[in-house]
């Protein structure tokens, strides 16, 4: 299949069409109800093509200012829908596994910076997604499962008992993982109750504080936009520090795990100016295609190094992107 | 729609877009057989899951183009 000279377009496409694609299930069929898949709109699919063909990525500001700007604006929109405060931040990742790992690592790192190292890290995860267990394994912390109520939800009283038991054992609890939509049932934990207990523990005699993360498997926008979901999620207090929303309907460039852009906790959606001092106009490749419209706001600036863009302003030309 | 179907029982009131329901009288194997056959026929992709130790069906609604007619057809096919 992999040959020194390559298969060529036709044979490669035939291989996809006749062998590989039939061995997959398209997840956007209206009767695909098995899992929580992607269901991108035609516009999203088309724009994925545009972004891929543009060969841009949102790894860091110098190269991906426009994409990062769009990402930040989208995060701000989501934060507003969920009723999060101005200081809320986040980052799009490839899925729940990367999101939960990022959120919980951030929680622990924040604890560490404020209080110094501690032994016996422990999370409390009631109806935890499997990715929580994976993150616990990766970061070498102990995870405690709190018994749910008759619907399987984490409740404040059960969490309070578990936290008290942990404190009695001399264990440092640095995060409570509550879900904004369990994978198997769609059940939303008692987020307000969990946050209340976390706050109580934060002022406990032992000086331990709890960081709060959120695990929402049900596609950020559709779930958050529903009135009921918004009501449930609004139970979260303004101290919530990490927004770990899994977004699948449309991928943004660079939305893969392992980006080294900016620490999630320090990113502030909508405040793009904090993320870079280099104007994006300065680093345009001569063969770059026109930028997507989402970057229009930052394109207003005058380029300081026009020599890097010998083709002239992309929007003044034919619009095809490639020149010469 | 599930409440109106004599052969189905709602397991719990849904909170978001996941709906758990049981097909009365079916074994775990029967659930899987139905799921496999529906997928092979291209009529629907619905898989069983286990909730509180019981095998049940699970609808995950994500696609905005899914219609009530789609669901009605799937429910009828489970009869």
Residue A123 pairs in a beta bridge with: A143, A175
Q: How far apart are CA A240 and CA A212, in angstroms?
A: 6
Angle at A37 between CA A224 and CA A189, to 5 degrees: 40
How many helices and strands (H and E) does chain B possess? 2, 4
Mean pLDDT along residues A131-142: 77
- Residue B44 near residue B78, CB atoms below 8 Å: no
Using a CB–CB cutoff of 8 Å, tell me whether B40 touches chain A: no
- Residue A248 near residue A94, CB atoms below 8 Å: no
Q: How far is CA A65 from CA A42, A58, A272, A298, A322, in A?
A: 25, 7, 8, 8, 21
Whether the complex's predicted ipTM is more than 0.90 is answered with: yes
Contact flag B18-A223 (C-beta cutoff 8 Å): no
Write down the pLDDT at residue A127: 55
Q: Which helix (H) or strand (E) holds B77?
A: helix B68-77
Nearest CB among B16, B20, B45 relative to A25 is that of: B45
Using a CB–CB cutoff of 8 Å, tell me whether A25 touches chain B: yes
**Residue from A25, A27, A31 to probe the interface with B (highest B Cβ count within 10 Å):** A31
Write down the pLDDT at residue B25: 94
Mean pLDDT along residues A310-317: 36
Q: How far apart are CA A200 and CA A114, in angstroms?
A: 18
Contact flag B12-A31 (C-beta cutoff 8 Å): no
A3 vs A189 pLDDT, higher one: A3
Q: Where are the beta strands (DSSP E) in chain A?
A: 122-124, 142-144, 173-179, 211-215
pTM: 0.62
Q: How far apart are CA B75 and CA B79, in angstroms?
A: 7
**Residue from B14, B18, B53, B67 to probe the interface with A (highest A Cβ count within 10 Å):** B18
Using a CB–CB cutoff of 8 Å, tell me whether B1 touches chain A: no
Using a CB–CB cutoff of 8 Å, tell me whether A35 touches chain B: yes
Tell whether the model's pLDDT for residue B1 goes beyond 80: yes
Using a CB–CB cutoff of 8 Å, tell me whether B10 touches chain A: no
Contact flag B62-A36 (C-beta cutoff 8 Å): yes
CA-based Rg of chain B, rounded to a whole angstrom? 12
Write out chain A residues lying below 8 Å of B49, CB-based.
184
Contact flag A31-B74 (C-beta cutoff 8 Å): yes
Q: Which residues contact B71 (CB under 8 A, 6 or more apart)?
A: B1, B59
Tell whether the model's pLDDT for residue A201 goes beyond 90: no
Pick from A107-116, A170-179, A295-304: least confident: A295-304
Tell whether the model's pLDDT for residue A298 goes beyond 80: no
A59 vs A238 pLDDT, higher one: A59
Mean pLDDT along residues A38-43: 77
Using a CB–CB cutoff of 8 Å, tell me whether A44 touches chain B: no
DSSP letters for A239-304 = T---B-B---SSPPTT-STT--S--GGG--TT-GGGG-SS-GGGG--TTPPPPPGGGTTGGGSPPS
How many helices and strands (H and E) does chain A possess? 9, 4
Say what angle helices A96-115 and A130-139 make with each other, to 10 degrees: 40
The most confident of the ranges A9-13, A144-148, A222-226 is: A9-13
Q: For residue A203, what pLDDT band results from cuts at 50, 70 and 90? A: very low
Contact flag A31-B66 (C-beta cutoff 8 Å): yes
Six-digit token string for A234 = 């609004």
Using a CB–CB cutoff of 8 Å, tell me whether B44 touches chain A: yes
A:B CB pairs within 8 Å? 88
Q: What is the pLDDT of residues A227-274, one digit of tens each?
A: 333 443 443 333 332 333 333 333 333 333 333 333 333 333 343 333
Write down the pLDDT at residue A59: 82
Angle at A9 between CA A5 and CA A14, to 5 degrees: 115
Mean of per-residue pLDDT scores for chain A: 64
């Amino acid at each position: 299949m992999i040959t020194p000279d390559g298969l060529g377009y036709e044979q490669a496409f035939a291989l996809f069409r006749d062998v590989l694609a039939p061995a997959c299930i398209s997840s956007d069929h209206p009767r695909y109800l098995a899992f929580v898949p992607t269901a991108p709109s035609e516009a999203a699919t088309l724009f994925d093509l545009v972004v891929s063909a543009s060969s841009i990525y949102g790894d860091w500001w110098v190269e991906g200012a426009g994409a990062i700007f769009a990402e930040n604006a989208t995060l701000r929109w989501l934060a507003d829908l969920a009723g999060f405060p101005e200081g809320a931040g986040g980052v799009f990742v490839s899925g729940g596994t990367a999101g939960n790992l990022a959120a919980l690592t951030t929680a622990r790192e924040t604890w560490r910076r404020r209080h110094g190292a501690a032994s016996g890290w422990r999370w409390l995860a009631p109806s935890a997604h499997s990715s929580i267990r994976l993150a616990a394994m990766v970061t070498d912390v102990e995870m405690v499962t709190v018994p749910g109520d008759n619907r399987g939800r984490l409740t404040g009283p059960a969490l309070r008992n578990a936290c008290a038991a942990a404190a009695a054992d001399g264990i440092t609890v640095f995060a409570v993982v509550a879900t904004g939509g369990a994978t198997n049932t769609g059940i939303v934990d008692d987020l307000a109750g969990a946050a209340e207990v976390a706050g109580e523990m934060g002022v406990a005699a032992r000086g331990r504080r709890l960081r709060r993360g959120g695990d929402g498997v049900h596609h950020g926008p559709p779930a958050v936009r529903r009135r009921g979901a918004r009501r449930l999620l609004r139970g979260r207090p303004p101290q919530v520090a990490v927004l770990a929303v899994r977004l699948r309907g449309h991928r943004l460039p660079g939305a893969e795990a392992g980006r080294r852009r900016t620490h999630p906790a320090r990113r502030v959606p909508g405040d793009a100016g904090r993320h870079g001092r280099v104007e994006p106009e300065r680093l345009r490749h001569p063969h770059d295609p026109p930028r997507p419209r989402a970057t229009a706001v930052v394109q207003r600036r005058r380029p300081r190094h026009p020599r890097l863009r010998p083709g002239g302003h992309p929007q003044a030309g034919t619009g095809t992107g490639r020149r010469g | 729609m599930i409440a109106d179907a004599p052969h189905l029982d709602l397991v719990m009131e849904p909170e978001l877009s996941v709906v758990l329901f049981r097909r009365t009288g079916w074994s775990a194997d029967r659930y899987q057989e139905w799921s496999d056959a529906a997928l092979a026929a291209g009529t629907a992709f619905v898989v069983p899951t286990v909730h509180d130790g019981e095998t049940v069906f699970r609808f995950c609604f994500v696609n905005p183009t899914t219609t009530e007619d789609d669901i009605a057809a799937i429910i009828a096919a489970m009869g």
